[in-house]
Amino acid sequence: MSLLAGFDFVSEISNETILKLIRTNFELGGISADPPFEITIPITGGSAHLVLTGLNLDLNADDTATLTYDFDRGSVEIASPVKLAVCPLAGSIAIQASISLQDGDNQTKSLAFAVTGAAITYTAAADQAIASSLAGKPITPAVFKTYANQAVTTFVQSAAPPDFGVSFKVVPGANGALAPKLVFERLEVHCIANPSRSKQALALFGILLKANNAHGDHTKKTATAITAADDGFGAHEN
């Protein structure tokens, strides 16, 4: 494993710190998305009510993030095309988000998360509740789950992405600087993935000198340099 992977500068943010930023800066339906909280999600012909009880984050090898919310005491009520209520529901909602650096004003790039989709996983007890509630109804459990997944996906995609307030100046073709303000010639953001969340990190890979523009391969950095005791942020430079 290479510490810098050929770059001039590498900064890492731990999984736990990114999760804390999301807890502070993410909203769903205008409500702080920091569990525990309750949400009501509109669905065709009715609504779903969920109590969100837990949250985990995974930083993935394809430079995406997965936010997984646990939920319980959920219910779905539909008035049309058929009147029914499905409860109690429990399980998890996995929200997928892309991670990128977005162009801003004055040659800045900001760290950005954008929700791309969501998927619901139900507990065995919830599966039984769905089957029982829909028995004799014209809606099958498979159709119910498809509609529920579509509704949740639409709901989370309508939410504003978390604004971390983190930006960097990048001036291609010119030498960067460390002071008085950090300026990069090139900057990339990538996930350092690991089966253990405590060993996952989000890394910023920077080139400072224009002569080094062609250098750097982030895939050569396969492990974070942040230790559990550090919990947060680490920077390395040549």
Question: H/E/C letters for each residue in the chain?
Answer: CCCCCCCCEEEEEEHHHHHHHHHHHCEECCEECCCCEEEEEEECCEEEEEEEEEEEEEECCCCEEEEEEEEEEEEEEECCCCCEEEEEEEEEEEEEEEEEEEECCCCEEEEEEEEEEEEEEECHHHHHHHHHHHCCCCCCHHHHHHHHHHHHHHHHHCCCCCEEEEEEEECCCCCCECCCCCEECEEEEEEECCCCHHHCEEEEEEECCHHHCCCCCHHHCCCCCCCCCCCCEEEEEC
**pLDDT at position 3:** 82
What global pTM score does this model have? 0.88
pLDDT at 149 over 90: yes
Q: How confident is the model at residue 231 (pLDDT cuts 50, 70, 90)?
A: low
User: Span 185-211, mean pLDDT?
Assistant: 95
d(CA 183, CA 206): 9
| pLDDT band at residue 79 under the 50/70/90 scheme | confident
Query: What's the whole-number mean pLDDT along residues 195-212?
Result: 94
The percentage of the chain sitting over the pLDDT mark of 70, rounded to a whole number, equals 95
- Quick one: how far is CA 8 from the chain centroid? 27
Residue 199 pLDDT greater than 80, yes or no: yes
Cβ atoms of 5 and 207 closer than 8 Å: no
Residue 80 is predicted with a pLDDT of 79
pLDDT confidence of residue 236: 57
- Is pLDDT at 200 greater than 90 in this prediction? yes
Does the pLDDT at position 43 exceed 80? Answer: yes
Mean per-residue pLDDT for 145-167?
Answer: 89
Distance (Å, whole) CA 143 – CA 172: 51
- The answer on pLDDT for 21 being more than 80 is yes
Q: Does 42 sit behind a cis peptide bond, omega within 30 degrees of 0 on the bond before it?
A: no
CB-CB contact of 74 with 90 (8 Å)? yes
Tell me what the pLDDT averaged over the chain comes to: 90
Split at pLDDT 50, 70, 90, the class of 1 is: low
Identify whether the C-beta of residue 104 lies closer than 8 Å to the C-beta of residue 110: yes
Contact 88, 74 (CB under 8 A): yes
pLDDT category of residue 29 using cuts at 50, 70 and 90: confident
pLDDT for the residue numbered 179:
85
In the predicted model, is pLDDT for residue 233 greater than 60? no
pLDDT at residue 118, as a whole number: 94
Rounded mean pLDDT, 120-135: 96
Name the residue among 218, 63, 68, 86 with its Cα closest to residue 148: 86
% of the chain residues with pLDDT over 90: 72
- Distance from the Cα of residue 203 to its chain's centroid: 15
pLDDT of 229 > 60? The answer is: no
